[in-house]
Amino acid sequence: MAWVVISYDGVLMQDMGDGQEVAVDGAVEAVGFLVQQGHHLTVWTERFTAMPETEKKRLKDQLEQELQAQGFPPMEVWIGTTKPAADVFIDKKAVTYDGDWNLVIAQVGVMLEERGLAPGPQPDDGNMDGIEPPPAGEEPTGG
């Protein structure tokens, strides 16, 4: 049995833009499968970290009820800026490190590009890797 932490925002539930949140397609079934496998599941969110403790408790209880109303099994909701010391995290912003930093950098690059966050052209640092010179007779273009 493993302790699996699942991000609430955009992984279990999605905001429909009108204040309503609904379960992400397939999430209820996937969570049910993990529970059937005997894993301990915790839902994690940072959304209430800057609130007084009494308000956090009220909203935590509300999230737990909303999850069950969407068809999820009862799960503890963990609120805070630190993630629990779980065995596995399921998060849409995560990159898996398996000993290969080149793979990590490639995954980060793809994620940033998909989100429109990839860095633009950088000042010339003398490194011309991957940069092709202009065809003979053409002037380089500024950029």
- CA pair distance 129, 4, nearest whole angstrom: 41
**Within-domain flag for 23:** yes
Opening angle at CA 81, ends 80 and 86, nearest 5: 80
**Within-domain flag for 9:** yes
Q: How far apart are the first and last CA of the chain?
A: 54
**Within-domain flag for 112:** no
Query: Which residues span the domain enclosing 10?
Result: 3-90
Confidence at residue 121, expressed as pLDDT on a 0 to 100 scale: 61
Confidence at residue 53, expressed as pLDDT on a 0 to 100 scale: 85
Confidence at residue 115, expressed as pLDDT on a 0 to 100 scale: 85
**139: helix, strand or coil:** coil
Confidence at residue 96, expressed as pLDDT on a 0 to 100 scale: 85
Opening angle at CA 55, ends 69 and 89, nearest 5: 60
**Within-domain flag for 131:** no
Single pTM value for the model: 0.73
Residue 32 φ then ψ, to 5°: -60, -40
- Quote the number of domains for the chain: 1
**Within-domain flag for 58:** yes
Q: Which residues contact 37 (CB under 8 A, 6 or more apart)?
A: none
Domain with residue 21: its CATH number is 3.40.50.1000
**Within-domain flag for 16:** yes
Confidence at residue 95, expressed as pLDDT on a 0 to 100 scale: 86
Confidence at residue 80, expressed as pLDDT on a 0 to 100 scale: 79
pLDDT per position in the chain (143 positions), as tens?
899 999 998 899 998 888 889 999 999 999 999 999 999 999 998 877 778 888 888 989 999 999 999 999 999 999 877 878 899 999 988 888 888 999 989 988 888 888 888 776 655 555 556 556 566 666 555 54
Helices (H) and strands (E) counted in the chain, each on its own, are 3, 6
**Within-domain flag for 80:** yes
Confidence at residue 29, expressed as pLDDT on a 0 to 100 scale: 97
Confidence at residue 136, expressed as pLDDT on a 0 to 100 scale: 64
Per-position DSSP letters for 76-118, written without gaps between them: EEEESSS----SEEE-TT----SS-HHHHHHHHHHHHHHTT--
Confidence at residue 140, expressed as pLDDT on a 0 to 100 scale: 53
- CA pair distance 139, 143, nearest whole angstrom: 13
